[in-house]
Copies of this chain bind each other. A is one copy, B any other.
């Protein structure tokens, strides 16, 4: 069961060496989102439970942390951020000029059995693009996702693009019932084509139709898709728009950077058009780090229907992939560690520290009244680049005794060269 003084099961503490990495990634992601004209938004940690069941169905309740507030409302810790952001958009931002580009970074909660790489509290980054229905809108979105992952330092990635709207249309030509559709979708998603073929035979799909369907799914043959729908204007337009999106993506990130995959299902009912996923093969089984596409939630939440697309990026998996690929993280080390030799120099040491901090330096002062040797050892454990020793002689000479912690060299440095206009 564990003691009350232990961290709750499935959650994590991030100690300083973790936080340096996390803040580094967070700041990189934020800078890239902003360079694309996206603006940050933050919503509460919990929402009305129904917000999530409206979006994802009743089954999602089993994965939610649910509680009741003083007004008797059912609340849930958010499992993802798209529903809250769209709720906020409908409540407060519908009148903003379009496109509206919103991004977020936030912790989410999933109430399942903890396992490797899956936590009950985890962080997601993501964005929503509200307004454009053009192929370049979703192309720029996919380019942003691709760039975020690449630029933080995950080099080995696979980007796949599909189209849920067209997938649904192809499926409808098979005239399957709901139960049958429900069984074949996971097989398409997991690329289990042999099982898919067996199941389609079981469902008595005519051989020619089955072969065509398998070719479209397995090889993402847009030419076959076009041929299938050549007499239907709506589907033909959808295919042309998808091809235009692919063409733009070719131009801006290069055709070797992504693959077509008409079998992307995304497991969520609210996608309507182009969908995409980014995987980092180095992560093994839990390799998907980003996914998104065109969807409709605004009208479901009572807003005026508006084209929307977006994606979510798993922060923890991205960080894990960076670590596996030996990405380099910065460190935040102490510039100066100041050691007052006796009680009489404490105030001076603290004053010098304050002035250096004001000038942008990271400075620590020994607060333990220990010997110089022990204080230097501690400064070493902090990776301080310099130690500054201040005794009565230094004070009366208006100098500090500066020790380079790497070389061990030590010399007097006048206070006024260190901090102009400062007198003790």
Contact = CB atoms under 8 A, between A and B. Distances in A.
Nearest to A52: B4
A328 interface: no
A41 B13 contact: yes
B357 A36 contact: yes
A131 B47 CA distance: 40
A37 B102 contact: no
A6 B73 CA distance: 12
Contacts of A346: 136, 248
A180 interface: no
Contact of A45 (B109, B362, B364): B109
- The secondary-structure label for the interface of chain A is mixed
Contacts of A77: 45
Interface in A47-67: 47-51, 54, 65-67
Nearest to A46: B8
B92 A15 contact: yes
A350 B251 contact: yes
A382 interface: yes
Contacts of A363: 35-37
Given A15-B88, A23-B40, A44-B13, A34 B362 contact: yes
A5 B368 contact: no
Contact of A364 (B36, B54, B121, B147): B36
A401 interface: no
A195 interface: no
A90 interface: yes
Nearest to A351: B252
A20 B339 CA distance: 39
Contact of A7 (B15, B91, B143): B91
A219 interface: no
A8 B102 contact: no
Interface stretch (A93-101, A206-214, A221-229, A256-264): A93-101
A226 to B, nearest CB: 20
Contacts of A7: 43-44, 47, 87-88, 91
Given A91-B5, A92-B13, A301-B5, A252 B347 contact: yes
Given A332-B34, A362-B37, A381-B97, A12 B350 contact: no
B134 A367 contact: yes
A28 interface: no
A408 interface: no
A75 interface: yes
A46 to B, nearest CB: 6
Given A40-B23, A93-B15, A347 B4 contact: no
Given A19-B42, A51-B4, A35 B357 contact: yes
A168 interface: no
A44 B332 contact: no
Given A19-B41, A134-B367, A367-B137, A6 B350 contact: no
B368 A132 contact: yes
A360 interface: yes
A236 interface: no
A285 interface: no
Nearest to A10: B69
Contact of A134 (B15, B368, B382): B368
A75 B8 contact: yes
Given A36-B364, A134-B369, A350-B136, A51 B5 contact: yes
Contacts of A416: none
Contacts of A15: 41, 88, 92-93
B111 A70 contact: yes
A204 interface: no
Nearest to A98: B368
Nearest to A378: B97
11 contacts: A8-B75, A12-B44, A13-B44, A18-B42, A19-B41, A35-B360, A37-B362, A37-B363, A45-B107, A70-B113, A136-B346
**When A and B form their complex, which 3 residue pairs have the shortest distance between CB atoms, in order from nearest?**
A37-B364, A16-B39, A251-B347
